[in-house]
């Protein structure tokens, strides 16, 4: 009987360990789901804010171009010159 009792006890301990492991996996899965849902919601909020700001900025740029086209042209020329210089210097440094 001792061998049967030992086998039964070992089987019970194995089942208990499996149940405890399954419960812990379920808890971790639930925690990951909650954190993922929070991250997705935060990402949506940030995207909404960024989209709103971009639309506002685009509206401001359109207004500036309509009101002061020569200033807008000068700003674009300076920005293009700056980008060209930066690219030229970085490509020149590769040789």
Global pTM? 0.49
What's the pLDDT score for residue 3?
64
Residue-wise DSSP of 14-82 = HHHHHHHHHHHHHHHHHHHHHHHHHHHHHHHHHHHHHHHHHHHHHHHHHHHHHH-HHHHHHHHHHHHHH
What's the pLDDT score for residue 31?
96
Helix, strand or coil, per DSSP, at residue 83: helix
What's the pLDDT score for residue 13?
77
What's the pLDDT score for residue 77?
96
What's the pLDDT score for residue 53?
93
Averaged in consecutive runs of 10 residues, what is the pLDDT profile of the chain (95 residues)? 64 78 92 96 95 90 87 94 93 74
């Amino acid at each position: 009987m001792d061998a049967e009792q030992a086998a039964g006890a070992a089987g019970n301990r194995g089942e208990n360990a499996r149940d405890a492991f399954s419960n812990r996996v379920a808890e971790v899965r639930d925690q990951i789901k909650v954190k993922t849902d929070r991250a997705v919601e935060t990402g949506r909020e940030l995207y909404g804010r960024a989209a709103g700001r971009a639309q506002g900025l685009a509206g401001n740029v359109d207004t500036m171009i309509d009101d002061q086209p020569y200033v807008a042209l000068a700003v674009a020329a300076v920005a293009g010159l700056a980008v060209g210089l930066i690219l030229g210097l970085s490509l020149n440094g590769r040789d």
